Amino acid sequence: MAVAIGVTAVLLLTALGEGAKRYVTGQFAGMGTNLVIVLPGRTETFGVGSGISGGTRDLTLEDCEALLRRCPAVVDVAPVTVGTASVEFGGLHRDVLVAGSTAAYARMRDLHASAGQLLPPGDPRRGEPVVVLGSKVRREIFGSDNPLGRSVRLARARFRVIGVLEPKGQSLGFDFDELVLVPVGQAMRLFNQSGLFRIMTQAASAQDVAGAQKQIRAVLADRHRDEDFTLVTQDAMLKSFRSIIDALTLALAGIAAISLAVAGIGIMNVMLVSVSERTAEVGLLKAMGAGRRQILALFLAEALLLSALGAAAGLTLGLVLMRLASGVFPGFTVEPSLAWTAAVVTLALTAGGLFGLSPARRAAGMPAVDALRGKR
């Protein structure tokens, strides 16, 4: 029983850890692929006197154009600015997150229109006052009515609805269904902003991300006369999340594995009782010619068999619990890892063998005459 509980615990905890890594990876994939994001300002800690460089310059639309023109490894650039505003129509209103960007934003975020169109291409400074509604915003403001061509008010400015986003749900806490997209120039005027919230760039492939990062740094440092910005890649964020999850998984699996050591002590006690009760049997085997190694192997095999049965029960119970967890949380896949399954079974058998060794050696070391007399 103790072996089964230990195996189940290790298996479940490692499966949850692997599931968490898959979930985080999926969430990052939903945000786009091969992205290098430029943030204004540096996140590093500076020394005394290093701040005398004129401060941080805003990221601008001109920076976006320079990146697209001078960085061969960059295939797409999307300026992003954000703000919150109230969207109003027909006496209904609700606060929404407004993202100002260009047509590239939808491509990089893998957004699609369920009705109408997405933001049109063109000069980002001269975008028309048009808006693309998230699916939830559209449902709450317009209900079953067709919103295309209607005018809504965003922060008291009129915008014409040109499209509705397909439902996409949340990704890393960001709900695309509650998003409202407007041209970046309109958003900057709407929120009276002089700089961008960030610049999203996309490399052609995962292999090009490092090259794109190097080129972006060189172009922006040349334009700003200083490296007053921060580059963030998806890989860097993903590695950080994975390393944290791996550390937590290992720690929890280690704690759970302690129960296997306790189970090994239980097996040792069971085998000691078995040896004590079967003293006459051991004597008879020796009288019939069984050697020390054969007696040792017999009791070791019993200890290993007990461990194997416990491991099998633990595996079965673990798989059942994983199936139940996947049914309760359909968006979070909990599957056993082959490597962790092999490791925990090996650990259970090793614990059984090690803790069964002492009783086995005790049985093998009994003198035949004393054993036949039942002398323990």
Predicted confidence at residue 52, as pLDDT, reads: 42
Query: Is 198 within 8 Å of 59 (Cβ atoms)?
Result: yes
Burial label, 27 (beta-carbon count in 10 A; 0-12, 13-18, 19+): middle
Q: Computed over its alpha carbons, how large is the radius of gyration of the chain? A: 33
pTM for the model stands at 0.62
Among the listed residues 81, 39, 34, the one whose alpha carbon sits nearest the alpha carbon of residue 217 = 39
DSSP β-ladder status, 130-133 and 157-165: parallel
Strand-pairing partners, residue 122, are: none
Predicted confidence at residue 364, as pLDDT, reads: 75
Q: How many Å apart are CA 207 and CA 329, to the nearest integer?
A: 35
Spans of the chain below 70 pLDDT: 2, 27-31, 43-55, 171-173, 256, 331, 368, 371-376
Predicted confidence at residue 183, as pLDDT, reads: 94
- Token digits for 54? 């004129």
> For residue 25, how many other CB atoms are within 10 A of its CB?
14
Among the listed residues 61, 46, 49, the one whose alpha carbon sits nearest the alpha carbon of residue 223 = 61
Predicted confidence at residue 371, as pLDDT, reads: 66
- Residues 142-156: tens digit of each pLDDT: 888 899 999 999 887
Among the listed residues 37, 27, 35, the one whose alpha carbon sits nearest the alpha carbon of residue 197 = 37
Element (H, E) at 273: helix 234-277
Predicted confidence at residue 267, as pLDDT, reads: 74
Predicted confidence at residue 373, as pLDDT, reads: 66
Predicted confidence at residue 51, as pLDDT, reads: 41
